[in-house]
Amino acid sequence: MDYYDLVRTSTGMDESLAKRLGFKSIFVEGKDFYFSRDPGTANGNVMLYSSQKEGAGPYLKNGIRAIAPQDLESVKELQKYVRDMVDYGTAFVIDASIIEMAYGTYRALLMGKMAECTELMIKRNVNICLATLAKSSIENLAAVQLIAIGEALGLEEDEARKAVSSNKHIVVGKGNSSDKR
Amino acid sequence: MIRDKKRYMLLETTADIVVEKEELERLVKQAVLSLVGQLGYYDISPKLISVVDKNHIVMRCRLRGYKRMLLVFSLIKRLGSMETGIYTLKSSGTLKALLK
């Protein structure tokens, strides 16, 4: 199984780093995939869902490809949109960097809510992606570490592996999409 | 006597290691302890085996705590005053196979 990661910056990213970390390729935001800044630019892009933003409804209607919640409140909120995500075929992206950079009790709460949300997504057959979405080299992780985070959030090992390998065809939109859920 | 199986891991740090081996081991153990607690620490039993160069170290843990160790290294972003990420490059059951 080939693994792919998604990051927010290309600084320090090269092919040798991707190989060392166990990825076939690392995709960069702004080059291989794009974040949606408003509902008008939602079609085919990824939504970074934070509590400061408006609801995910308009983005879902405009064809957002995937949603990555960015904080505790947005993870809670996202659970309301699961039915819409199923209807519109939107994927759920687990952003590992928000867990990495959280600290103490907040991290514990965030992981708990994220695990709850992941369980719901699995139950409703929503596609799940697992990526670091790293803003710097500190936030990068090896593929095995990413899989370990997935397992800590309640995914089975094979589900976590599949989530890391499906970043390419679900978020970037390249390759075979036949093995989508 | 049943011996515990061990797992050796080759790790890469994003920042250069500027502290002595003993100090580094103390910092890593402290970080592991704060993340998994005293009971989890026993399952992992981390040990710094060697400092390969300024960005690579070899650590050992118990096989049963391996998954948790991977998670811990994902979450460590600071060792003392050093801000660093830790990548798990490789892991193996023997030191010989790890460094091959």
- The whole-number pLDDT of residue A180 equals 41
Dist CA A32 CA A63 (whole Å): 18
| Residue B100 counted as domain residue | no
Nearest to B14 among A101, A137, A147 (CB): A137
Q: How many CB pairs under 8 A join A and B?
A: 48
CA dihedral B45, B98, B80, A6 (to 10 degrees): -110
| Residue B1 counted as domain residue | no
Residue A175's pLDDT band (cuts 50, 70, 90): low
Residue type, A83: R
Residue A174's pLDDT band (cuts 50, 70, 90): low
| Residue B10 counted as domain residue | yes
pLDDT of B90 over the 90 cut:
yes
Specify the number of domains making up chain B.
1
| Residue B84 counted as domain residue | yes
The domain that holds A108 is classified in CATH as 3.20.20.140
Question: Any chain B CB within 8 A of the CB of A151?
Answer: yes
Tokens of B30: 């402290």
The domain that holds B39 is classified in CATH as 3.30.70.3250
DSSP, res A14? -
| Residue A154 counted as domain residue | yes
Closest-CA residue of chain A to B76: A100
Specify the number of domains making up chain A.
1
- pTM for the structure as a whole: 0.92
Give chain A positions within 8 Å (CB) of B88.
142, 144-145
Give chain B positions within 8 Å (CB) of A146.
74
Place of tokens 């959280």: A102
pLDDT of B34 over the 90 cut:
yes
| Residue B98 counted as domain residue | no
pLDDT of A43 over the 90 cut:
no
Residue type, A27: F
| Residue B49 counted as domain residue | yes
Convert A89-102 to b/e letters by CB count within 10 Å (16 or more is b): ebbbbbbbbbbbeb
β-strand A25-28 against A4-7: which pairing, if any?
Answer: parallel
| Residue B88 counted as domain residue | yes
Dist CA A171 CA A131 (whole Å): 10
pLDDT of A181 over the 50 cut:
no
Range of the domain at A26: 4-172
Q: What is the mean pLDDT of residues A15-36?
A: 91
Question: pLDDT (tens digit, 9 = 90+) per residue, A107-157?
Answer: 999 999 999 999 999 999 999 999 999 999 999 999 999 999 999 999 999
| Residue A100 counted as domain residue | yes
Report which of residues B71 and A37 the model is more confident about: B71
